[in-house]
Amino acid sequence: MNTKELLLSVLMSGPATGYDIKKTMENEVSTLLDVSLSNLYPALNELASEGLVTYRKVEQDNRPNKKIYELTEAGRGACLNALMSGNARHRLRSEFIFILAYAPFLPRWRVKELLDQRLAGTNETLKDLDRREAEEALQEGQKFCIGFGRAMMEAQRDYILNHGASLLKSCPEDVAVLTHA
């Protein structure tokens, strides 16, 4: 999905300020997709000029005015069309996995460090999923996604715990690293 389609999908949940949209993109969407936030406001302006969103300005005391964006019926239709026609690819792209493919060439301490970092990150993600799951009024789609994410994270954690030791055994105790000046 492109940036404009992602913005429309965020607004499916209801009206939001640009700041709220940006936070949702950073905290939720970016955990699932590569997103570029550099053109967020220009993209919102394009969506408004295309009639896919509307906005109203809200004056604030001692702060800049804010805009609250909302989907139009045309915007809702464009969003649903994008969701219906998307490929729904599921890709695994991971520097962690790439580096560990070379574990037999790396010193054991480095591989252990990578495994420990990944476990810590996985546990943090599981805590975040717990927090999200405890939120009230989750839609069925959100519940499914949280459960799917939990299953992937638990499988990742369990795999590292069950197979990490054999990977570490394949690593040399230490490796002489050559540097080029």
| pLDDT tens-digit map of 19-30 | 898 888 887 776
Q: What value does the mean pLDDT take over residues 65-94? A: 86
Quick one: 41 and 20 in the same domain?
Answer: yes
Residue 61: pLDDT band with limits 50, 70, 90: confident
Task: Count the Cβ atoms, other than its own, within 10 Å of residue 67.
Answer: 18
User: For residue 17, what are the β-bridge partners?
Assistant: 68
Compute the distance between CA of residue 147 and CA of residue 140 in angstroms, rounded to an integer: 10
Quick one: 46 and 75 in the same domain?
Answer: yes
Quick one: 66 and 125 in the same domain?
Answer: no
Using the predicted structure, report yes or no on whether residue 56 has a pLDDT greater than 80: yes
**Model pLDDT, residue 177:** 61
Task: Count the Cβ atoms, other than its own, within 10 Å of residue 119.
Answer: 15
Does a structural domain hold residue 179? no
Quick one: 118 and 141 in the same domain?
Answer: yes
User: Is the whole-model pTM more than 0.75?
Assistant: no
Quick one: 100 and 80 in the same domain?
Answer: no
Residue 41: pLDDT band with limits 50, 70, 90: confident
Compute the distance between CA of residue 40 and CA of residue 7 in angstroms, rounded to an integer: 8
Beta strands of 22-176 (E only): which ranges? 53-60, 63-71
Compute the distance between CA of residue 67 and CA of residue 70 in angstroms, rounded to an integer: 10
Does a structural domain hold residue 129? yes
- Burial label for 162, CB within 10 Å (0-12, 13-18, 19+), is exposed
Does a structural domain hold residue 174? no
Using the predicted structure, report yes or no on whether residue 118 has a pLDDT greater than 70: yes
Give me the domain span that covers residue 142. Answer: 95-169
- What does DSSP say about strands 53-60 and 16-17: parallel, antiparallel, or unpaired? unpaired
Report for 79-83, 86-90, 160-164: range of highest mean pLDDT: 160-164
